[in-house]
Every structure is written in structure tokens, then in C-alpha cells.
Amino acid sequence: MCGILACINHPKAAAYRPRMLNMSRCIRHRGPDWSGCVVATEENDADRGSILCHERLAIVGVDTGAQPLVSTDGKLILAVNGEIYNHRQLRKGLKNQKAQFKTHSDCEVILHLYKEHGSDFVKMLDGMFSFVLLDTSVSPHRCIAARDPIGITTFYQGWSYKYPGATFFSSELKALHEECDRIRGFPPGHLYDSSLPEGQETVRYYQPTWWHGDEEGAKLPTTEADLTAIRESLEAAVRKRLMSEVPYGVLLSGGLDSSLIATIAARETNKVAEAQRQRYEERRARKEAVVANGPTDGLPVGLDDDEDQETLAAWPRLHSFSIGLEGSPDLMAAREAARYLGTVHHEYTFTVQEGLDAISDVIYHLETFDVTTVRASTPMYLLSRKIKAMGVKMVLSGEGSDEIFGGYLYFHAAPDAKSFHQECVKRVKALHTADCLRANKSTMAWGLEARVPFLDKSFLETSMNVDAKDKMFSKGSLQEKDADGRPRMEKYILRKAFDLTPPGDAKPYLPESILWRQKEQFSDGVGYSWIDGMKEYANKHISDRKFAQRKERYPESTPDTKEAYWIREVFESWFPTKASASTAVRWIPRGDWGCASDPSGRAVNIHEFAYE
């Protein structure tokens, strides 16, 4: 994951370069490893052109992957934020098998795919990404920009009245908000092509079978849950996301989702460790043979002691990370899960005051005033700083599961299967405004990359087409038991898919206490005092008079609580323009389902019911 910034079709491109470098500095936290900038001017207009900037976080192709990338003929320029998991397969599938690659980066294949397939290549990519590609072989230059299907990477597009005809792109709002008077979040699963007619440049390329399931009249899925397919597709999703040349770990809250990701990652990491161990033992045996018998023809000399130590140090062992207030539910559950999985576990605590002190910085990095996102992002932001300080640059995280399977406790109030499924689809389609935004920006604030296996395209295709009747739960269902004595609680089919001992293993995927632990939203699980502390602070610092005038001050997205007002006020201090505020999206609980207005999971009555 990195940070990208581009200005396309600027009237004075070369002269604008210093300004772009200053703007790019605003997102350098996303890519602390290196910075790059390329300017390309039009052949028939030496002033007009485009500027592409890149702030690099090196995960794959560490030694050679600096960006922006330039094709061997110098005609194509590319800036990418993200990871392309199937880059090796895509390389092998190129028609031109002699295509020259200048780096080991997973992103360079995009240049060659464009040459062979035009803009259609974006449908072939499997990963999380935002990119801007400039084709200077045509006049005017052609720009292709795109964002991954669900919006795991953050991406913005802007325009300025000062530079008619110019278009800006950036990984974060903060690079654009002082320069652009019109800004939008670039829509996930879409492609921008400057060669298309005006007003039609942006088109949807991601068209999964389930996408229109939230629309009236859409056909509801009737496929019975295939537990094996769910399990195997999630395992494959985790496996491909372990592509890394740097230390990695897992965020472990002790809840179902993060624990499932951790147990799969631990098993995959152990497989790699075992393969390395076997190779090491073979080399040690050869060395001992040389020492005992002396060199012989055909018998390679063994490793020296330094090489032995290097091989030992290279054996991978999964690290897990958790955070919470002292004695919080998540810390205790994460400790249990880590002990069971045998991870190298790192546990951090924070105080309510430390969280409150961080709120302003958190909102600066999040670029939103959504209450539930700010609540959950603060501990994640604090944890990410600790993780990066240890030298870890990539983590796996469990975002997306609750949207896919209707795991939030308020889903129990869905009146019927149709409503349940429509809400799942809506929540998945809105992930880029909430949990994906949180996972991306809370971690990238410290140059830490978060990967989210639950949002794998294949896993989504499998899980979003399951009959909603198999996903539904209610108060009464908690008392219902299946043949194995398991309660039909939230995310039942996901739990059931992993309620077994894997072939060739000595123990189940997870202990029962973790696999069948009730859902706790992250902002609740870190300690109930955290949300209570935020509310108490807001009530003290936002006067009744100020709150009474909230509609006058904020006529759009008017805050409905003092906590929301406080958060909005902090957001405005960083991003004072209307263009900036227009990019933020608030999540509003389903009042029509009888849900409380507070987005906390504790506000849902089924939360306490489960403990009765």
C-alpha cells in the first residue's frame, strides 16, 4: 500500500511540479520508504501535461519497485497504491512472453496488460488497488484511473476552477482539500478513461452476480449454504494475501472474524516454516557429511555458521496484535486465541484519556465525521503505531464479515429474509465509506498496510449468493440448537464452516469459546468505558446552546448527538471546506427496524439477552 497523487491535463505542468510535491508530502505517511514524481507534457503543447507523484511503502519487489513506473519505451507512466495478488499468473498469461520487466514489483504487469488489452485489463486484476496510468503515445494523453471492486484502498478525485480541464486524483483528501473546490470519493469498482466522451468518463467495471441485490425487484439468492466452499474460499483468500517480502502479522481482537483469519494464517505460516525447516535440515546434513568425510565429487559444501543463523532467523512465526482498555473483553479473548494458535502475541493497553488525546489526529487521518468509524478507529490507530514501531509493515484484518453475513447484532431485527439480504448488500457496497476506510487510514497513518481476506472477490461471490434464510438469527434462535448443540446465532454458517478439525491437524480451527463467542463491535470490545468516555467528554465540552443551533451551523448531515457534534467540529478544523464535508458519509442505524440511534452494539437489546 502506498500513496498516489496525480494531476492530469494541467495547463502549466512543469511549473506546477513544486506545488504537487508539497501536496504529495501530505500523504507521505502512507509511503515512508521512497518518493517519486514524473512530469509528462503534450507533444504539441510544451506547457500542458500531467504530473504523477508516488509515496512508497515497499512490501513486494522491495529492491526494485520504486514508482511511478515508466514502460521500457517511455510511453506509459503508472502510479499504483495497493497489491496485485495474481501478478505472477498475469505475467504468465501475457501474449508477449518476451515482455521486458524492469522491476520485481507486483504492479508493473499493469503496463503490459494495458498494451495487450486496453482498459479492459482492470477486470483481470485480483487485489486491492487504486492507480493512475498515463498513455503519452496518443494526443491528448490518455488517462486511465481505477479503484478496486469494494474500495479497500481509499481514492479521491477532484477539480479546481483555477485549472479548467485539469483532473486530480489522490489516495487521501488532505492532498486535495486546499486545491480543489469540488471533490468526490472515487467510486469503488469503477474505471475512469479520459478518452471517453465528456460526462461518460467513469464507468463500472465490477459486475458481480450479487451487486443489484439491494434493489427492489431483484431476485433473491436461493443457494443453500455450502460450508465447505465457504471455508475453502476463505482459506484461499488468506493464502494469497500472505504475499510479502517483509515482516507481517494479524490483528487479533479475539472475536470470530479476526480469529478465523489468524488461525488460517497461522496454519499457512507453519507450512512455510516446516518447508524451510526441512530445507535447513537437508543442508545441515550435507555440511555434517562434508565435515565427517571431507569434500567429495558431487557433494556440495555446507553452510558456514553465519549462513546457518540467517536460515534460522528466516523461519517464519506468526505475530498477533491486540489492544484494549485494561481488562477489556477483547484483550482476554485475544489472549486465549493466541495461546491456542501459538502465535507470538503482543498485547497493548490504552487509557480513555490517551484515546481522547488522539481523537484530533485520528479524524485528520480518517477524513470523516462518522461517529462509529471514529470510535473504532482510535484504538486501531494507537495499535498501528505500536506495530509499526516493531518493524512490521503488513497485517491481516477481519473487516467485511459482518456485512457479508449480517453479523451485526441489529440484523436480528430484520423483518424478513429479503430485508436481511438487501441490508447485507447495502452494507458491503458501503464498506468503502466505513470499515474499509477505517482499516486503510488507521493503519496507513503509520505506514502499515492492512489486508482484508473477507473481501476477496471469490469469497464474496460464494458468500453473497447464499440464501439469506441461512444467515438470519433472532432472540429465539439463540435458544435453538443444531444437531451438534450449537446455537443458531449471528454468522452461524461461518462459524459452522470452521467447526471441525482440519485434515492432518491435531486440533480444531478454534476453541469453542472463541468460535462461538457473541459479536462485539470493535469499539465496544476494546472496553465499554471507551465509548462512554467519548460521550462524557462531548457532553462536557459541547454546550446546550451550541448543540441547539446545530442545524444552523451544519445544515447538511446535521449531528444528532453532542458526540457527533464534537467529532464534526474537529473534522471542520482540519477540513473546513464544503467540498471536504461532501466526501464524508455517516452511517445511520435502521430506525425502521426499531433499532436505537446509537450505533454501538450494546445499544441492541439482543446484546444483553445473550448473557441472560
The phi-psi region of residue 259 (left if phi > 0; otherwise alpha if psi is between -120 and 50; otherwise beta) is alpha
How many CA within 13 A on the CB side of residue 576? 2
Q: What is the mean pLDDT of residues 4-22?
A: 98
C-alpha grid cell, residue 317: 512465526
The 10s digit of each residue's pLDDT in 390-428 is: 999 999 999 999 999 999 989 999 999 999 999 999 999
106 is in an annotated binding site: yes
- Catalytic one among 2, 26, 424, 436? 2
User: What 3-state class would DSSP assign to 5?
Assistant: strand
> Fold identical between 3-204 and 227-268+317-553?
no
Fold of 3-204: Glutamine Phosphoribosylpyrophosphate, subunit 1, domain 1 (3.60.20)
Cα separation, 441 vs 405, whole angstroms: 24
Q: Which three cell numbers stand for residue 93?
A: 498469461
The half-sphere exposure of 542 on its side-chain side, counting CA atoms within 13 A, is 23
Domain 227-268+317-553: state its class: alpha beta
Tell me the per-residue pLDDT of 73-122, one tens digit each, with 9 for 90 and over.
Answer: 999 999 999 999 999 999 999 999 888 998 888 999 999 999 999 999 99
Residue ranges per structural domain of the chain: 3-204, 227-268+317-553
Beta carbons within 10 angstroms of residue 227's beta carbon: 17
Is the four-CA dihedral 600, 148, 37, 39 of positive or negative sign?
A: negative
Closest CA to 334 of 344, 167, 172: 344
Does the annotation list 391 as a binding residue?
no
pLDDT score for 69 = 95
Catalytic: 180? no
Integer Rg of the chain from CA: 25
| 127-179 pLDDT per residue, tens | 999 999 999 999 999 999 999 999 999 999 999 999 999 999 999 999 999 99
609: Cα separation from own chain's centroid: 32
Q: CA 125 from chain center: how many Å?
A: 16
Cα 588 from Cα 580, distance rounded (Å): 20
- Per-residue confidence at 308, pLDDT binned at 50, 70, 90? very low
pLDDT tier for residue 289 given thresholds of 50, 70 and 90 = confident
